[in-house]
């Protein structure tokens, strides 16, 4: 007999949501007052605010500041059950999913499983580069950068010192741009005070982009300004440049040139997380699941996908919607309304994306903003970026903590969160 997940069966429809990211969280909250049983599962017991991963990686914020316990979010929501579980397989015939906790039946299944790093089949890059798609990976990046500085203190070879100090970021989207700017500001304001024995003129920061500009998808003005801001901060921006390989010591480009570094950060692409058990024909470009205008997965009448994993194509978005938080949130809102319509046998309404604009910060007082009707850059764009991200954080306490950290950093040109946190196992492996 199959082991069942220990959730009581009720005499009402059960909606199972897989994933507690922007899409899954919004959908569960939007169904708060409906007469359904909601089961939310996630491999973590907290929601992660992905746009600020880079600040954890560069010691600007602690992980707890951008994470919020899912159980606390739903303390007052009586129609929701939460379990820490990992999706293993979907059985669409039996209307159930197999998890590492057991079998979970559903009337409606919503996949909000997001996306992971795409290495485009390069095993060396997957093995040696540092991704940044989770809080844990952001902490690993922080540890790697700080560990290299500590090693550089005891290195007499100039070439090896430069290798330890150099940082290469691959991917000129918002993540790569914001991270490059943050590391450049660390180099300028903070690291010389922490490591006075090191010559930071030997530290070089490179941002590599395969296309002809950074912030592809932004306005031409914002793209040019973003590149200019990075160069003002001392970042070497290389466009029309493709990475061919990385062995942990040297980055090799398609044109044969190389850069010596121990730290390569990979922010060059994402692919949808795998949902085993579904028809392979519904998996589209980038591992995303093909859905119709109602976020219903093609060929399935009671399985939906929202957020980064969903591939909805139309005349305006022939390659699918951008994989950003606003799309995930708006799809969740529309699906919640359609779930209510399903319960009343009403006609469903198709999803229509309202693009509220794009923001990216490069450094202190430096940001770009593309709003629906105009674009602007500089200080006011930076203030808008701060406000929007602060208000988007889940939890009042987290907002206060982040605001205090940002204010302290702004007025002191410093931050006190550069902690090298390693496990005993890691310490033993690196100690002679």
Per-domain residue ranges of the chain: 14-43+85-117+270-343, 123-268+357-430
Task: Say whether 123-268+357-430 and 14-43+85-117+270-343 share the same fold.
Answer: yes
Give the long-range contacts of residues 288-297, CB within 8 A, separation 24 or more: 288/115, 288/320, 289/111, 293/350, 293/351, 294/335, 294/338, 294/348, 294/349, 294/350, 294/351, 295/331, 295/334, 295/335, 295/338, 295/351, 297/111
Distance of CA 293 to the CA centre of its chain: 25
> Catalytic: which of 10, 123, 162, 178?
178
Respond yes or no: is residue 123 known to be catalytic: no
Distance of CA 154 to the CA centre of its chain: 35
List CB contacts of 110: < 8 A, sequence separation 6 or more: 15, 16, 17, 18, 24, 27, 303, 304, 305, 306, 335
Fold designation for 123-268+357-430: FAD/NAD(P)-binding domain (3.50.50)
Q: Are 143 and 131 in contact (CB under 8 A)?
A: no
Q: Enter the pTM of the model.
A: 0.92
Write down the CATH number for the domain with range 14-43+85-117+270-343: 3.50.50.60
DSSP class of 2: P
DSSP for 234-303?
TEEEE-S--EEEE-SSEEEETTS-EEE-SEEEE-S-EEEPP-TTS-GGGB-GGGPEEB-TTSBBTT-SSE
DSSP for 75-127?
TT-TTEEEEE--EEEEETTTTEEEETTEEEE-SEEEE---EEE--TT-HHHHH
Nearest to residue 134, comparing CAs of 227, 244, 300, 273? 273
The per-residue pLDDT string of the chain (432 residues; one tens digit each, 9 = 90 and over) reads: 578 888 988 899 999 999 999 999 999 999 998 999 999 999 999 999 999 999 999 988 888 899 999 999 999 999 999 999 999 999 999 999 999 999 999 999 999 999 999 999 999 999 999 998 998 999 999 999 999 999 999 999 999 999 999 999 999 999 999 999 999 999 999 999 999 999 999 999 999 999 999 999 899 999 999 999 999 999 999 999 999 999 999 999 999 999 999 999 999 989 999 999 999 999 999 999 999 999 999 999 999 999 999 999 999 999 999 999 999 999 999 999 999 998 888 999 999 999 999 999 999 999 999 999 899 999 999 999 999 999 999 888 889 999 998 998 888 888 766 777 765 555 545 545
- Which residue's entry shows tokens 């160069």? 231
């Amino acid at each position: 007999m199959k082991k069942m997940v220990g959730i009581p069966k009720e005499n009402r429809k059960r909606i199972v949501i897989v994933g507690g990211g922007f899409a899954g969280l919004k959908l569960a909250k939007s169904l708060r007052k409906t007469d359904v049983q909601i089961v939310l599962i996630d491999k973590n017991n907290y929601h992660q605010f992905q746009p600020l991963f880079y600040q954890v990686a560069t010691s600007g914020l602690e992980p707890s500041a951008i994470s919020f316990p899912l159980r606390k979010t739903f303390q007052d929501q009586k129609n929701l059950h939460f379990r820490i579980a990992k999706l293993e397989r979907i059985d669409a015939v039996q209307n159930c999913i197999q998890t590492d906790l057991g079998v979970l039946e559903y009337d409606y299944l919503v996949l909000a499983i997001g996306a992971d790093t795409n290495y485009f089949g390069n095993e060396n890059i997957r093995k040696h580069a540092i991704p940044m798609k989770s809080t844990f990976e952001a902490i690993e990046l922080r540890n790697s950068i700080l560990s290299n500085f500590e090693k550089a203190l005891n290195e007499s070879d100039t070439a090896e010192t430069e290798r330890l100090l150099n940082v290469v970021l691959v991917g000129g989207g918002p993540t790569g741009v914001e991270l490059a700017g943050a590391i450049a500001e660390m180099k300028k304001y903070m690291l010389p005070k922490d490591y006075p024995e090191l010559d930071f003129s030997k530290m070089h920061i490179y941002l590599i982009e395969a296309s002809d500009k950074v912030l592809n998808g932004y306005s031409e003005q914002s793209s040019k300004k973003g590149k200019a801001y990075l160069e003002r901060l001392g970042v070497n921006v290389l466009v029309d440049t493709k990475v061919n390989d990385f062995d942990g010591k040297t980055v090799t480009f398609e044109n044969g040139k190389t850069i010596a570094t121990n730290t390569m950060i990979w922010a060059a692409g994402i692919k949808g997380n795998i949902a085993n058990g579904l028809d392979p024909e519904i998996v589209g470009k980038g591992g995303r699941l093909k859905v119709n205008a109602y976020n219903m997965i093609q060929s399935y009448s009671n399985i939906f996908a929202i957020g980064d994993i969903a591939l909805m194509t139309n005349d305006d978005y022939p390659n699918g919607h951008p994989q950003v938080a606003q799309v995930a949130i708006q799809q969740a809102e529309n699906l919640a309304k359609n779930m209510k319509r399903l319960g009343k046998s009403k006609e469903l309404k198709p999803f229509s994306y309202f693009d509220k604009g794009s923001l990216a910060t490069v450094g202190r007082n430096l940001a770009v903003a593309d709003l629906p009707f105009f674009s602007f850059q500089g200080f006011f764009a930076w203030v808008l970026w701060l406000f929007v991200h602060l208000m988007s954080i889940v939890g009042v306490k987290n907002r206060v903590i982040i605001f205090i950290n940002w204010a302290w950093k702004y007025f002191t040109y410093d931050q006190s969160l550069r902690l090298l946190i390693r496990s005993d196992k890691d310490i033993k492996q690196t100690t002679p």
